[in-house]
Amino acid sequence: MNRFYEFLRRHPTWVDGFWGFVLLGPGAIWVIVEAGERPRPGLWVAGAVLTVLALTLVVTVRRRWPRQMLLLSTAVGLFQLLADVPPNPGNLAFLIIIYTVASRTTRWASRYALAAALLAPTVAAARWAEQTPGGSLAATVLDTVLVTVTFLLAWVLGDSLRTRRAYYAELEERAARLERERETRSRMAVAAERARIARELHDVVAHNVSVMVVQADGAAYVLDSAPDQARNALHTISGTGRQALAEMRRLLGVLRTGETPPAGTGAYVPQPGVEQLAELIDQARDAGLPVDFRIEGTPRPLPSGVELTAYRIVQEALTNTRKHGGPQAGATVRLAYSGDLLTVRAEDDGRGAGRELYDARGADGLGHGLIGMRERVGMVGGALEAGPRPGGGFRISATLPLNGDRCPS
């Protein structure tokens, strides 16, 4: 049964053609009956047959060419007035075409059909008043009102269908638009998450690997002369490697769905914050980098995003100092609490990175630490200043809001 309905929806002209054929039968019978009552039926029969055939055509192709069929039905109605072809069963096509045009989106055609629905019954009643059953004026007026109301109902039904179709089309468009927006938001979220993971991986790998390299070089240097010191360096390398692996598991775990982290592996440890800065500083000192770390002001609870940003800034700054500061470089780290702001300053007194490296935003191909740092600070509404400082070395200063506001650039 569903296939049959689907076939009918795909071939509306066939359906209309069937109803046109059904309408043709009563029209032909009416012509035969009327012709028997005419004294000279020849010319009149030709006009009546032409009228019935034209109205059958209107019904058959009304959905393919609704506006053209509206004009054709108007011409047929005028022809009926001139040729004295009174209302007949074929005039049911007028109701059908009015309904069809009103259900479409062409507004001028719908208004034209409404005007025709109001005027046509009155004109027909005036033209063939003597043929009204009962013959009285009251009967003529009553029949005219009933026919007019019927035509108006056909127009109202068609217009209601047009409104309902427009409403459904709007709902479908809105649903499609929401789906597109949802997909866009999903793609943006995926891109943002990938960028965040890339920054996290960069920080983890760059910091921990640099510590491991420094410790490995130191262990190799003192392996023969100070085996205990070399053994401590190897322990530091081992611990740093485990920490890096744990953080990488945690970061890569967000890319997996439906997995539960194994118990006791620490794969999903909390994000580091300012409380872990002391451990980070000690790790840098153990790697041979002198670091002066101070906290100014009164510490207070911080938003998780600000805590992670502060930690990563210090981590990246110390990593850059080890990579670019030279063998005798020393670093200074300051955390200053002031009102609704947290200022993170990290600087070194070594050779430092050149101004051109900062201006190129990491375009040397060696890393994207400063780019990631600027993005992190921007995500929490902060402001970042970075570059060579007077007298040598490199300085990074970030101002982070604690109340969610955005710092002035």
Query: Taking CA 357 as the corner, what is the angle to CA 351 and CA 360, rounded to the nearest 5 degrees?
Result: 170
Residue 113 is predicted with a pLDDT of 93
Indicate the SS3 state at residue 302. Answer: coil
- Say how far apart CA 76 and CA 55 lie, in whole Å: 8
Residue 376 is predicted with a pLDDT of 79
- Say how far apart CA 329 and CA 351 lie, in whole Å: 8
Residue 56 is predicted with a pLDDT of 92
Show the 3-state SS of 149-167: HHHHHHHHHHHHHHHHHHH
Residue 268 is predicted with a pLDDT of 45
For the chain, how are helix, strand and coil distributed in percent, rounded to 5?
Answer: 65, 10, 25
Residue 103 is predicted with a pLDDT of 92
Single out the residue of 348, 328, 343 nearest to residue 385, CA to CA.
343
Q: Which residues contact 99 (CB under 8 A, 6 or more apart)?
A: 154, 155, 157, 158
pTM, 2 dp = 0.50
Show the 3-state SS of 101-142: HHCCCCHHHHHHHHHHHHHHHHHHHHHCHHHCCCCCHHHHHH
- Say how far apart CA 81 and CA 329 lie, in whole Å: 108
Are 162 and 104 in contact by the 8 Å Cβ rule? The answer is yes
DSSP string of 3-64, one letter each residue = HHHHHHHH-HHHHHHHHHHHHHHHHHHHHHHHHHT-SSHHHHHHHHHHHHHHHHHHHHTTTT
Single-letter code of the amino acid located at 277:
L
The one-character DSSP state at 254 is T
Residue with tokens 């890319």: 255
pLDDT in tens, the chain (409 residues): 677 777 777 788 888 888 888 889 899 998 888 887 777 777 888 899 999 999 999 999 999 999 999 999 999 999 999 988 888 999 999 999 999 999 998 899 999 999 999 999 999 888 887 765 555 788 888 888 999 999 999 999 999 999 999 999 999 999 999 999 988 888 887 777 677 767 776 666 666 777 777 778 777 877 778 888 787 878 778 777 777 777 666 666 655 544 444 444 444 455 678 888 988 898 888 888 899 999 998 888 888 778 888 998 998 888 888 887 777 788 999 999 988 899 999 998 876 555 544 444 444 434 456 777 887 788 788 999 988 888 788 899 999 998 766 666 5
Are 146 and 133 in contact by the 8 Å Cβ rule? The answer is no
Question: From the CB of residue 388, how many other CB atoms can be counted at a distance below 10 Å?
Answer: 17
- Say how far apart CA 377 and CA 306 lie, in whole Å: 8
Query: Taking CA 146 as the corner, what is the angle to CA 142 and CA 149, rounded to the nearest 5 degrees?
Result: 135
The kind and range of the H/E element at 286 are helix 277-286
Paired sense of beta strands 291-296 and 331-338, if any: parallel
Show the 3-state SS of 48-74: HHHHHHHHHHHHHCCCCCHHHHHHHHH
Single out the residue of 252, 302, 247, 243 nearest to residue 270, CA to CA.
247
